[in-house]
Amino acid sequence: MKRIAVLTSGGDAPGMNAAIRAVVRGGLDQGWEVFGVRQGYAGLIAGEMNSLSARDVGGIIQQGGTMLGSARSLEFKTEEGRKVALANLEAKGIEALVVIGGNGSQTGAYALSQLGFPVVGVASTIDNDLYGSEITIGVDTALNIALEAIDRLKTTASSHRRAFLVEVMGRDCGYLALMSGLAGGAEVVVVPEVDTPPEEVAARLRGAYERGKAHAIAVVAEGARYGAEELMAYFREHQARLGFDLRSTILGHVQRGGIPGAFDRLLATRLGFGAVTRLAKGQHGILMGLLKGEISSTPLGEVVASKKPLDASLLEMAWVLAQ
- CATH 3.40.50.450 residue spans of the chain: 3-138+260-305
Averaged over 20-32, what is the pLDDT? 98
- Average pLDDT for the chain: 93
Q: Is pLDDT at 239 greater than 70 in this prediction?
A: yes
CB 139 within 8 A of CB 21: no
- CATH 3.40.50.460 residue spans of the chain: 141-257
pLDDT band at residue 119 under the 50/70/90 scheme: very high
pLDDT band at residue 243 under the 50/70/90 scheme: low
Rounded-to-integer distance, Cα 320 and Cα 190, Å? 15
Task: Identify the pLDDT of residue 252.
Answer: 84
Fold assignment, 141-257? Rossmann fold (3.40.50)
Give 81's Cβ-side CA count (13 Å radius): 15
- Which of 8-17, 51-60, 177-186, 226-235 is predicted least confidently? 226-235
Q: Is pLDDT at 47 greater than 70 in this prediction?
A: yes
Alpha helices in 172-323 (DSSP H): 175-183, 198-210, 228-237, 239-242, 262-280, 300-305, 312-321
Say if residue 253 carries a ligand binding annotation: yes
CA proximity to 7, closest of 122, 110, 88: 122
Q: Is pLDDT at 111 greater than 80 in this prediction?
A: yes
Q: Is pLDDT at 244 greater than 70 in this prediction?
A: no
Q: Is pLDDT at 231 greater than 70 in this prediction?
A: yes
Rounded-to-integer distance, Cα 176 and Cα 169, Å? 7
Rounded-to-integer distance, Cα 268 and Cα 23, Å? 10
| Catalytic residue ranges | 127
Q: Is pLDDT at 160 greater than 80 in this prediction?
A: no
Is residue 33 within a helix (H) or strand (E), and if so which, with residue range?
Answer: strand 33-37
Averaged over 47-66, what is the pLDDT? 97
Say if residue 134 carries a ligand binding annotation: no
Rounded-to-integer distance, Cα 193 and Cα 313, Å? 12
Q: Which residues contact 119 (CB under 8 A, 6 or more apart)?
A: 96, 97, 98, 99, 109, 110, 112, 113, 284, 285, 300
Coil, strand or helix: which one is 67? coil
Class for domain 3-138+260-305, per CATH? alpha beta
Averaged over 176-192, what is the pLDDT? 95
Rounded-to-integer distance, Cα 237 and Cα 223, Å? 22
Residue 295 corresponds to which amino acid? Answer: I
Say if residue 284 carries a ligand binding annotation: no
Say if residue 222 carries a ligand binding annotation: yes
